[in-house]
Amino acid sequence: MAYGVRLEVWGDYACFTRPELKVERFSYLVMTPSAARGILEAIFWHGGLRWIVDRIHVLSEIQFENIRRNERKSKILCTQAASRAQKGTLYQVREGDLQQRASTVLRQPHYVISAHFEMTEKANLSDNPGKFREMFCRRAKKGQCYHTPYFGCREFPARFRLYEEEEVRTAHIGETKDLGFMLYDMDYSDPRKPQPMFFRAQLVDGVLDLRDCEVYR
């Protein structure tokens, strides 16, 4: 028995930053699989399951907008955090640590995420796939989440609802777009050196199919 779910997500803006254009942020054309997984985990996370995104359906036209945002120039490193915490001086001063950056973001993003999950070795004896699916669906219907899901950046919150219709109507029927190499996820098998994973993305009839895609490290 398949324990898949479909979640509709939408918002005002989104920025799924391309790693090669990080200083002046430029978004991918479509939500990345890791961003979709992050939204699912924001609604329901459990150590006994692992989310796998199967398809991303694009329900809106791909539109860009240029904006400027104030961002911090520096960040506190882990080594600094450990030493400053002991001295009680762990803080950042906003004034003088800001710089204005241009960002090319997506406007009015709207998707349906099709995904399923696999049980992990951390699941308890009382856990089962049916139980987890019911918990996710109940939380999605009620609008419950552990933290507000977002589209790439925390200032771009995502609204969501459980998608229960039979058919998903996309905005790009009859179109095929080669999106080039896109970030798939991060490989944390070595926690000290996480490695990015990429795949060749193709949008066919408004659907980004992630099943059996070849991943490059």
Residue among 216, 214, 211, 198 nearest 32 (CA): 198
pTM for this model (two decimals) = 0.87
Mean of pLDDT values over 119-123: 91
Tell me what pLDDT residue 91 has.
65
Model confidence at 83, in pLDDT bands (50, 70, 90)? low
Residue among 69, 148, 160, 156 nearest 107 (CA): 156
Q: Spell out where 47-165 has E strands.
A: 49-58, 64-72, 98-107, 110-119, 159-162
Tokens of 17: 């930053």
Instruction: Tell me if residue 26 falls in helix, strand or coil.
Output: strand
Fold of 5-216: Alpha-Beta Plaits (3.30.70)
Model confidence at 114, in pLDDT bands (50, 70, 90)? very high
Whether 19 has a pLDDT exceeding 50, the answer reads yes
Sequence spans of domains, the chain: 5-216
